[in-house]
Amino acid sequence: MRQLLSAWVVFGALAIGAPSSAATPPTLLHISSHLAKAAKASLDGAKPVVAPGEGSTVIATAAGSHVLKVTTSTGVTYQTTLDLKPAALMRWKGKGYWCVNLLEHSLEVYSTEDCEEDVTDAG
């Protein structure tokens, strides 16, 4: 009986201290491009992804400070530091999004409202 009681006490302590079984929703950087041709975008020096001309792509990322480097089809290269904050996430279909728009010589960081419009329009 004593062993059974000890097992229940241990089990109860584990249950109270157990983390939630709900998974953390994925967070993404949605890169919108209003450039006529595809550009390459690299986050924190990782392998670049292609942002299609007049299209969009996403990169999985977490909150924090990140460097986004962009190279356009004309060879223009620029980079900027992004400060991605959890409070600025736009949530849609179980995911969180931060959004940027690629321009020819710079990028625009979208507000949560503009991000919502861009992501939901992209489908």
Q: Residue 45 carries which DSSP code? A: T
Domain boundaries, position 96: 24-122
Structure tokens, 19:
């983390």
Q: Which long-range contacts (CB under 8 A, 24 or more apart) does 6-11 make?
A: none
For residue 12, is it within any domain?
no
**Each residue of 19-70: pLDDT tens digit?**
444 678 899 999 999 899 999 999 999 999 999 999 999 999 999 999 999 9
For residue 58, is it within any domain?
yes
Q: Coil, helix or strand for 4?
A: helix
For residue 11, is it within any domain?
no
Give, in order, the Cα–Cα distances in Å from 8 to each of 2, 18, 20, 122.
10, 15, 20, 51
For residue 15, is it within any domain?
no
Unique residue bearing structure tokens 């990782």: 46
Report how many domains make up the chain: 1
Which CATH number covers residue 97? 2.60.40
pTM score, whole prediction: 0.79
For residue 2, is it within any domain?
no
